[in-house]
Amino acid sequence: MPRDPYIVFAGGGTGGHLFPALVVAADLAERHPGASIVFAGSRRGLETRLVPRAGFPLRTLPISGLAGASPLRRVVAALAAAAATVRCGLWFVRRRPALLVGIGGFASGPAALAALLLRVPTMLMEQNHFPGATNRWLAPRAAAVCVPSEAARGRLGGIGIVTGNPVRPEFAGIGAAPAGARLSLLAFGGSRGARSINRAMVEALPRLAAMAPPPAIVHQTGPDAHAEVSAAYAAKAPELGAEVRPFLDDMPARLAAADLVVCRAGATTLSELAAAGRPAILVPYPHAADDHQRKNAEAVAEAGAALVIDDAALTGEALASSVAALAADRSLRDRMGAAARTLARPDAAERIADVADMVLRGEARDVS
């Protein structure tokens, strides 16, 4: 193993990719005080804010996603991905990494491809139980793949080391739900918000305000929708005194204060809910690659930890009815929270860092 390894984490775009990687990077930095750990990401993702805040250098690439884009945008994005692969290759020739960790997101594929072409030891962090096309292609070529479950491993053709998804340590320390006189409801749609959740919450406001007692609401809207949603709360239900924010930097504290969560079904979000032991109403993002959010949500619901409302069926009435039913049944919420905790893997970051050390020593194999 190199004494002071040069390690590159590539990818990001959303908190779902970044937060797990930052936890693992911090573990590796503690294990290897002389290591140089660098992140590579896009110029528009959350990494531009979160990575420097965590104390790691960031190199950005002019790259964007392909999913859902127009034909012209897809061509432009494909050309940008090719250019990013070349740029990463030149970077790795100038300073060869001891390890490249692909974390998912726009920059992950080009960086991992460049690393594999140059025979740089490469491992992947797959957060989803249903891996996307890029990681399905990369997995047989990587030195190791860390996956959240046996289901994910099976969908990679038996490749992968089951580690679970890492979450920030603050989530594991969250205790029982507050269960005060008012239901504490936390609604969010990920770092960029979710249009359908925002719309349904606004539509549900009259009925939520009519509950006895009405819930205490914290709602993360995403930056683009914040002004519109804030105005709707002020117009429709000012008596609720809801806290409407564009982004929540303190999610562990927000989950600790919540009795019930309304959110998407991204893998990292579900891991955070599991660590915190919080019941949820999940609204899977319908355009996720391979519909993986719906499959993630169904697995959590089967464990008894969540209710699922399809995005197409999400109306204010449907959401308000589900919130009201759970608000009236504390014992059900407690059982759902306990079921969520059974899905947690508190040692996931340590297990992934162990795999990284194996790759650095040239010992890793993709076996469970």
- In order along its 368 residues, the chain shows pLDDT tens digits of 777 999 999 998 888 889 999 999 999 999 999 999 999 998 888 899 999 999 999 999 887 665 555 677 778 778 888 889 999 999 999 999 999 999 988 889 999 999 999 999 999 999 888 887 888 899 999 999 999 888 889 989 999 999 999 999 899 889 998 878 899 999 998 767 789 999 999 999 999 999 999 999 999 999 989 999 999 999 999 999 999 999 998 999 999 999 999 999 998 899 999 999 999 999 999 988 778 899 889 989 999 999 999 999 999 999 999 999 999 999 999 999 999 999 999 899 999 999 999 999 998 655 44
For the question of whether the overall pTM of this predicted structure is more than 0.95, the answer is no
- CA 61 vs. chain centroid, Å, equals 21
Q: What is 171-342's CATH topology?
A: Rossmann fold (3.40.50)
* Numbered ranges of CATH 3.40.50.2000 in the chain: 6-165+347-360, 171-342
Q: What is 6-165+347-360's CATH topology?
A: Rossmann fold (3.40.50)
